[in-house]
Amino acid sequence: MRFPRLFLSGWLPERGRQDFHNKADGHERRIATYLVENFRTTINFEAYIHLTQLMQSEALMFAYRGWCRQWGQKRKFGGALVWQLNDCWPVTSWAIVDYFLRKKPDCHSMMRLLTPIAVGVRRQHHDWSVCHARPAKTLTWEVWVSSSALETVTVYVEVRFICIATGKDIKPAMVKKGVVVEANGATNVMEGVVDNVGEVPHVLAARIWKGGELISRDADWPQPLKYVQFPGRGLKVVSEGDRVHVTAERPVKGLTFEEREGVLVSDSAIDVLPGDEQVIVVRGLKDSEEPLGWRLLGQDEQ
C-alpha cells in the first residue's frame, strides 16, 4: 500500500485486472458486502485500498482482542492460527503480509494485541446489518487487561470518553490505580453504560501504565463507522529523524502509513486521540527519500 502516490489514471476498484488478482470464490460479492455494511464506499482507488485493508484489520482486531480475553475466562479459547501470513505471488488476498513482505494494517493490529500486557475496551455489540438499523438506547461497556506474562503485574488504568465531533471529553475520565493483572490470563477492570440518547457519539479510549510507562492503548468507536462523520480532524504528522510524531485535535480512525520495501514502521493503522501523542519509529528510510505517505478514514472529508 502506498499513500498517496499510487493513484493512476484509469485505476478503479471494479476492473478486470483487479478481479483477476483475487482467486477467492465469490470475492466480489463478499468484499462489497463487508464494505457497504461498515464504511461509506468510494471509487477512489487509494481510498478503496485503505478501506478494504482497514476492514481486514478491524476484523482481526475484534477477533484477537476477544480471543485473548477468553483465554483468561476459564480457557474458553486456547489459541489461533492466522490464515494467512503472506502471498506466494502478487495477488489480492486475506494475507497479513503481501508478496513483497510489506505488512498490511492487520499485521500491526495483531502485534498490538499480542504484546505481553494489553488493555481492551469494548461496548456491547448491536447488530445494525439485520432488519432496522435502529441504534440501541443504551449499551454496556467494559475494560479488561490481557496478560501473557508469567507473573502478576500492577498497572494504572484510564478510560476517557471523547466526543468525535469536538475532541472534548464529554465527562470525567475513569481511573483505577494499583490494578493487579493476573498472570497468563485476563483481568476485568471496570464497566459502565453508554447512553446513546443523552450522550453525543464518542470514543471509549483506554490506556494503561506500568511503572509510569504507557504500555498499551485501545479505543472503541460507535458502530458502524459509515455513520460517523470525520471533518476537520486537526491531524499533525511531523517527522524528526527516525521518529514520526502524531497528534490530533479530534479523534482519528485508522491512520495508516505507507509501506515501502526495506522500510519498517513500528506501528500503523492506529487511532489517534486528542491529548495522546503517539511516536512511530521508522527504520530504513534514507534522508534523501520522501517521508512516508499516509491515509486515514474519512480523509476525503478533511
Confidence of residue 143 (pLDDT cuts 50, 70, 90): very high
The amino acid sitting at 122 is R
The H or E element that residue 256 is part of is strand 252-257
Whether residue 295 is contained in a domain is answered as: no
Q: For residues 128 and 152, is the Cβ–Cβ distance under 8 A? A: no
* Residue 207 CB neighbour total at 10 angstroms: 22
- Reduced to 3 states, what is the DSSP secondary structure of residue 114? coil
Count the helix, strand and coil residues of the chain and give each as a percent rounded to the nearest 5: 20, 30, 50
**Could you give the number of structural domains in the chain?**
1
The pLDDT tens digits for 248-299 are: 999 999 999 999 989 999 999 999 999 999 999 999 999 889 999 999 999 9
Q: For residues 297 and 225, is the Cβ–Cβ distance under 8 A? A: yes
Confidence of residue 225 (pLDDT cuts 50, 70, 90): very high
* Range 173-195 average pLDDT: 97
How far lies 110's CA from each of 62, 67, 131, in Å? Answer: 10, 12, 32
How far lies 2's CA from each of 45, 91, 156, 261, 266, in Å? Answer: 11, 16, 38, 11, 17
Q: Tell me which residue range forms the domain holding 175.
A: 115-227
pTM over 0.85: yes
Q: Give CA–CA dist 85/98, Å, rounded.
A: 8
8 vs 270, higher pLDDT = 270
* Residue 155 CB neighbour total at 10 angstroms: 23
Residues 6 or more apart in contact with residue 234 via CB below 8 angstroms: 167, 248, 249, 250
| Half-sphere exposure of residue 269: CA atoms within 13 angstroms, side-chain side | 27
Whether residue 279 is contained in a domain is answered as: no
Q: Give CA–CA dist 204/184, Å, rounded.
A: 25
Query: Residue 10: its pLDDT value, please?
Result: 62
Whether residue 210 is contained in a domain is answered as: yes
The amino acid sitting at 123 is R
Confidence of residue 9 (pLDDT cuts 50, 70, 90): low
Whether residue 126 is contained in a domain is answered as: yes
Whether residue 64 is contained in a domain is answered as: no
Cell representation of residue 124:
456491547
* Range 56-71 average pLDDT: 94
Q: Give CA–CA dist 123/232, Å, rounded.
A: 26
Whether residue 181 is contained in a domain is answered as: yes
Whether residue 173 is contained in a domain is answered as: yes
Query: Residue 3: its pLDDT value, please?
Result: 45
pLDDT above 90 coverage of the chain, percent: 72
Whether residue 42 is contained in a domain is answered as: no
Confidence of residue 132 (pLDDT cuts 50, 70, 90): low
Q: For residues 159 and 190, is the Cβ–Cβ distance under 8 A? A: yes
The CATH code of the domain that includes 189 is 2.60.40.10
